[in-house]
């Protein structure tokens, strides 16, 4: 691609960015201490913080779960390929950074369709010399497109870890959400993993926060029950400790979860037989 084409593409991406309504990736970025957000995102973030301060803990602990899950897959399970759908905005310890610290030859494909994320693609595309990192401008509703495009970077005859973190709530219909996840997993071989984390309807505060966000004009995000989160793993072999709060999934050594404040975010990891 020529410099002129690159500039034109960048201009087209910037034109797609809507700063008049909140966006979940920017909103989440604000809560985890990132810098890629606008006034409209900060306003709804501050409003929701007054309704339910615990959502900040959900954002931070969910981000920490990502690191532990990727490290577990790379170190304990020997996974060398990651498909991160709905990656959101880059912060510290992104999937490729965690994976390639443990396994320099790891390959990672990020998938998102938010123009601000796309504008940061070059930051995401860094890689070790031994590995490879790529970015797809696509969304969860096009699983065939994701799988086909991922083949340029990943060898889909070998196990892949499908990461879908804090993304599935954008799919309003639960059956459709399960169908999309199943479609993606059906394109991956035996020995592949599914990793999901998401906010859950496990407190009145979280439900109120979700309602406030959905009333802001942003694309709605629906929190689900723990049982619904578990349903995404039907047919897979759950990794211990099963479907648990994100803070309880393989906590860092020396970290005690006894007496810890509950968080309204659950996660799980399952292996395809």
CA atoms of 199 and 63, how far apart (whole Å): 12
Nearest to 88 by CA among 169, 156, 145, 151: 169
Around Cβ 102, how many Cβ atoms within 10 Å? 16
Average pLDDT for the chain: 90
- The answer to whether residue 57 scores a pLDDT higher than 80 is yes
- The answer to whether residue 6 scores a pLDDT higher than 70 is no
Choice among 37-41, 82-86, 95-99, 197-201 with the minimum mean pLDDT = 37-41
pLDDT for position 17: 73
* pLDDT tens string 202-259: 999 999 999 999 998 888 999 999 999 999 999 999 999 999 999 999 998 877 676 6
- The answer to whether residue 15 scores a pLDDT higher than 70 is no
pLDDT for position 261: 82
CA atoms of 237 and 188, how far apart (whole Å): 15
pTM: 0.90
Q: What is the 3-state secondary structure (H, E, C) of the chain?
A: CCHHHHHHHHHHHHHHCCCCCCCHHHHHHHHCCCCCCCHHHHHHHHHHHHHCCHHHHHHHHHHHHHHHHHHHHHHHCCCCEEEEECCCCCCCCCHHHHHHHHCCCCEEEEEECCHHHHHCHHHHCCCCCCCEEEEEECCCCCHHHHHHHHCCCCCCCCCCEEEEECCHHHCCCHHHHHHHHHHHHHCCCCCCEEEEEEEECCCHHHHHHHHHHHCCCCCCCCCECHHHHHHCCCCCEECCCCCEEHHHCCCCCCCCCCCCCCCCEEEEEEECC
- The answer to whether residue 127 scores a pLDDT higher than 80 is yes
* pLDDT tens string 174-203: 999 999 999 999 999 999 999 999 999 999
């Amino acid at each position: 691609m020529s410099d002129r084409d690159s500039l034109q593409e960048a201009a087209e991406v910037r034109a797609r960015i809507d700063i008049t309504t909140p966006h979940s990736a920017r909103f989440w970025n604000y809560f985890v201490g990132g810098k890629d957000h606008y006034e409209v995102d900060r306003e709804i973030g501050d409003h929701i913080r007054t309704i339910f301060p615990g959502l900040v803990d959900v954002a931070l602990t969910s981000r920490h779960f990502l690191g532990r899950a990727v490290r577990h897959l790379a170190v304990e399970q020997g996974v060398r390929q990651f498909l991160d759908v709905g990656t959101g905005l880059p912060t510290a310890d992104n999937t490729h950074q965690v994976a390639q610290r443990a396994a320099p030859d790891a390959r990672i494909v990020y998938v998102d369709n938010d123009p601000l994320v796309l504008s940061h693609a070059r930051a995401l595309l860094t890689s070790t010399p031994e590995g490879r990192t790529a970015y797809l401008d696509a969304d969860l509703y096009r699983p065939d497109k994701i799988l086909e495009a991922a083949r340029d970077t990943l060898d889909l005859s070998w196990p892949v870890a499908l990461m879908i973190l804090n993304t599935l709530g954008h799919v309003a219909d639960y059956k459709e959400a399960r169908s999309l996840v199943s479609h993606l997993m059906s394109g991956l071989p035996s020995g592949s993993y599914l990793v999901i984390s998401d906010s859950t309807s496990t407190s009145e505060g979280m439900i109120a926060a979700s309602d406030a966000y959905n009333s802001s004009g942003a694309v709605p995000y629906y929190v689900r029950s723990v049982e619904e989160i578990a349903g995404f793993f039907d047919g897979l072999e759950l990794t211990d400790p099963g479907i648990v709060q994100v803070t309880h999934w393989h906590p860092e050594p020396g970290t005690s979860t006894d007496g810890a404040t509950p968080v309204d975010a659950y996660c799980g990891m399952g292996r395809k037989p």
